[in-house]
Structure 1
Amino acid sequence: MHIAVLHGGDSAEREVSLRSGQAVARGLTTAGYHVTLIDTKDYCLSDLATAKVDHVFIALHGRGGEDGSVQGALEYMNISYTGSGVLGSALAMDKIRSKQVMQSAGIPTAPFAIVHKESFDKESVAEILTQLGGKVMVKPSHEGSSIGMSVAETPIALTESLITAFQYDKEVLIEAWISGPEYTVAILGGDALPSIHMETPNTFYDYQAKYQSQTTQYHCPSGLSDVDETTLRKIALNAFNATGAHGWGRVDVMRTESGQWQVLEVNTVPGMTETSLVPKAAKVHGLSFVDLVTRIVAISLEQKG
């Protein structure tokens, strides 16, 4: 089978995507597939239609690859691909609308406010801060890897955080601060893999903590009781399904100091370097990296059939 691995692109997560694609290509090659690695930056996607490709493994992170755009193009060309479809990809990538969906579905998620760049009123900042408990996380609606995110505890800091976030997006999510440990749950073919507990000395699990720090710690198994682990996995699966995601992905969750779970977001194309979170969980589940990428391909082909 000839598989094209799409990676790179021109999103803010390009560097991480390049590393993911290279790791996936190595894994699939080891598994015996004929692999073509394609950096989609400056690449005409329509060329895939004549490239005699049997299947596509999407290793693109962020805009243009994780938001339904590439998925729609591939469907138009009748080329099968890994991961979620157009709807699940687009909805999960949109932090605001995915939270609204989760909220309506009864999935626990932190209180939030929405600010639009065009109608942003600096006079409303203090009121928003008060309504959300005095400390907030500011997130561009359509970015991943914690890009453009920051913490604010004063009206001045919140205004500055919003101005920074507006550089990435016209819509910004302001989320009530959650004080407590952070976990992530990988989803593979309808199953939730063992959870991972992340620990960082940083203020939050930001880009630096994810990709550059030598002090971030990952615990898998995460140390939860059997009851808590089962509850967390169920919540993660519910959130994943609520957004219309399928195939494989990852759900990020935090636990408040009072023990309540709060879903942060759903990732439909999470990092896939050999040391990324999904491969870590898969290893504890008994799957090597080669097993993991092979399983992702098999799941997507089963869904196509």
Structure 2
Amino acid sequence: MSDRWVAVLSGGLSHERDISLRSGRRLSAALRSVGLTVDEWDTDSGLLERLRSNRPDAVVVALHGGQGENGSIQSILEMFGVPYVGTDSRACRWAWDRPNAKAELSRVGLATPDWVVLPHSTFRDLGAQAVLDALVDRIGLPLVLKPDQGGSALGTQIVREASELPSAMVGCLAYGDTVMAEQYLDGVEVAIGVIEGPAGPEALPAVEITPPAGIYDYNARYTAGLTEFHTPARLTPEAAAEVSELAIAAHRLLGLRDVSRTTAIVTPDGTVNFLQVNVSPGLNETSLLPIAIEAAGRSLGDTFATLVEQAVARGPR
């Protein structure tokens, strides 16, 4: 394994560039610690020439948001015939869209908070206040606003009073042209990493998330010490088993590969509700997947080195 040469892709031009660079640096150090040769590549105008002239054995995508999760960079790697760790381009595109992912899991009977999707044009064409009033009638309060695509909770806001809704909607639309309004649920928020091996996907111990203000927003995610984590999550054995089953179901139903992370809410009655799935989980010092990997008695370097070997054996698509 030590003679493998891996390129870790990070950075990019999304709102999550800085977080991606942190993930890339940490992952690169972890892979070097287990003997791999690693280069860190940004996804800039020089990437295609690097792929043409100096192709690595495999690529690991440590990009968050945008091209790292919507299938764009995966399509490039497939066009160049470069093996890579992670979900293929078509499944990335499907999972990247939050409403699509929720609809797919809801279709097979898995619980997820009720939701409505509203493009920006709807407010312009039909009248903003009338649409907002109808939204509150349909979903109720409190509710959560999220961009229909994206990561790191950018643009995500909890709305508890109808008077807060117009400004919250404007803030959410700053990160995309379409908003997903979702029913707010009280409960225990957990993140469940999935690592796929020869025997199939395996759920890591669930990480319980306890943010200071009740919402796991950008600052709560990336400010060290601000959010409290419990691994394994403080759940009943039945709920712990169910969140693991949910994460594996999401991984399989959405056609994901190698690694994913599912977020869920366990309500007081024990119902496990799917929130979203991430095909390129964060790997920096405050990220949830490394916490779960460590709780499972593994190391980040060994885990991803094994995924690199799988990618090389699988070859290009």
Question: Which AA in structure 1 matches 2:70?
Answer: D
Q: Is 1:114 the equivalent of 2:117?
A: yes
CA distance in 2, matches of 1:274, 1:287: 16
Identical-residue share of aligned pairs (%): 29
Cα deviation, residue 203, structure 1: 2.9
Give the equivalent residue in structure 1 for 2:151: 144
Aligned pairs for 1:219-230 (under 5 A) are: 219-230=230-241
Report the Cα distance in structure 2 between the residues aligned to 1:125 and 1:283, rounded to whole angstroms: 44
Deviations 1:253-297 (A, max 9, x none): 011232211111000000012442111111111101222221232
User: Contact 2:239–2:270 at 8 Å: present in 1 too?
Assistant: no
Distance in 1 (CA, whole Å) between partners of 2:267 and 2:238 is 17
Matches of 2:264 and 2:315, distance apart in 1: 30
> Which residue number in structure 1 is paired with residue 164 of structure 2?
157
Aligned to 1:43: 46
Show CA shifts across 1:38-57 (max 9, x none): 11144333431211311101
1:138-180 deviation per Cα after TM superposition (whole angstroms, max 9, x unaligned): 0011110000111113333222222222221111100000111
Residues 185 and 195 in structure 1, CA contact (< 8 A), matched pair in contact too: yes
Q: In 1, Cα distance between the equivalents of 2:56 and 2:172? A: 38
Question: 2:30 corresponds to which residue?
Answer: 27
Of residues 262, 267, 273, the one that matches 2:273 is 262
Correspondence list, 1:1-305, <5 A: 1-120=4-123, 121-122=127-128, 123-189=130-196, 190-212=201-223, 214-304=225-315
Output the TM-score relative to the length of structure 2: 0.92
Provide the rounded CA distance (Å) in 2 between the counterparts of 1:87 and 1:108.
Answer: 25
Deviations 1:195-253 (A, max 9, x none): 11111221311111111152311111112232221111001111222222111010000
Structure 1: give runs of 5+ residues left out of the alignment: none
SS in 2 for 1:64: helix
CA distance in 1 between counterparts of 2:157 and 2:99 reads: 16
Query: How many residues of Structure 1 are paired with residues of Structure 2 in the alignment?
Result: 305
CA distance in 2, matches of 1:203, 1:57: 33
Q: Give the whole-Å Cα distance in 2 for the aligned partners of 1:45 and 1:158.
A: 44
- Supply the AA of the counterpart residue of 1:105: V
Separation in structure 2 between the aligned mates of residue 226 and residue 304 of structure 1, nearest angstrom? 39
TM-score normalized with structure 1 length: 0.95
Which stretch of structure 1 is more off in the superposition, 39-48 or 134-143?
39-48
| Alpha-carbon separation, structure 2, partners of 1:214 and 1:57 | 28
| Structure 1 runs of 4+ with >4 Å offset | none
Q: Where in structure 2 are there 5+ consecutive unaligned residues?
A: none
Question: Quick one: which amino acid aligns to residue 221 of structure 1?
Answer: P
Q: Partner of 1:299: helix, strand, or coil?
A: helix
